[in-house]
């Protein structure tokens, strides 16, 4: 819990806009900002300190470097810390958030909706109700798709049982009997 006894989720705090000279040499202002962020989230400072290159994040998340850049351009992930040379650096918190975005996309949430969620999250806890609405709507869609998938699986199972019975009655194996389209 944060020190004000209000739980703060990592998705409630905006971490965008960070800029540092490199992962090992962060100025005092940036250290103060990161320390405050860690305090608000009630996490170790190391979770919010940017240290991962885009290549390392790509390996850790399974998302290509180009896709990570694309996600940032679309607003699906917050703008990440940049070194003085313009190289991207990610924190553990960034990687965690990227993983959540990946899950949303894997479940079919539209890019626009994910971007809206990220924009709302950047505004802080005051947008929790709006984010909850987005997630509930998406979950309802997933439940509908899951029910539809279960019906489709049942139809496939029925057809499998039919062919297994047909082959058992004829004494043939499935490899010896091609699908006749029934």
What pLDDT sits at residue 154? Answer: 98
**Residues near 30 by Cβ (< 8 Å), separated by ≥ 6?**
18, 19, 20
Backbone φ and ψ of 88, nearest 5°: -75, 140
CATH 1.10.1660.10 fits 10-123, yes or no: yes
Per residue in 95-146, pLDDT (tens digit) is 999 999 999 999 999 999 999 999 999 888 899 999 999 999 999 999 999 9
Q: Residue ranges of the domains in the chain?
A: 10-123, 135-176
Taking the C-alpha atoms of residue 80 and residue 51, their distance in angstroms, rounded to an integer, is 11
pTM of the model: 0.69
Instruction: Tell which wins on pLDDT, 127 or 9.
Output: 127
The span from the CA of 167 to the CA of 173, in Å, is 6
Q: What are the phi and psi torsion angles at 60 (to 5°)?
A: -70, -35
Other CB atoms within 10 Å distance of the CB of residue 103: 10
Confidence of residue 81 (pLDDT cuts 50, 70, 90): confident
């Amino acid at each position: 819990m944060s020190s004000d006894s209000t739980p703060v989720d990592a998705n409630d705090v905006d971490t965008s806009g960070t800029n540092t000279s490199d992962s090992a040499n962060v100025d005092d202002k940036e250290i103060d900002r990161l320390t405050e962020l860690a305090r608000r989230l009630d996490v170790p400072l190391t979770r919010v300190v940017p240290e991962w290159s885009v290549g390392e994040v790509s390996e850790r998340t399974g998302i290509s470097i180009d896709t990570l850049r694309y996600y940032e351009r679309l607003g699906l992930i917050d703008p990440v810390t940049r070194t003085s040379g313009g190289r991207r650096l990610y924190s553990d918190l960034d990687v965690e958030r990227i993983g959540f975005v990946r899950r949303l996309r894997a479940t079919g949430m539209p890019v626009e909706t994910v971007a809206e969620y990220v924009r709302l999250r950047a505004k802080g806890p005051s947008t929790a109700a709006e984010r909850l609405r987005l997630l509930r709507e998406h979950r309802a869609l997933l439940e509908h798709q899951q029910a539809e998938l279960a019906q489709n699986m049942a139809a496939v199972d029925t057809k499998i049982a039919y062919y297994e019975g047909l082959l058992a009655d004829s004494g043939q194996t499935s490899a010896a009997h091609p699908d006749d389209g029934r």
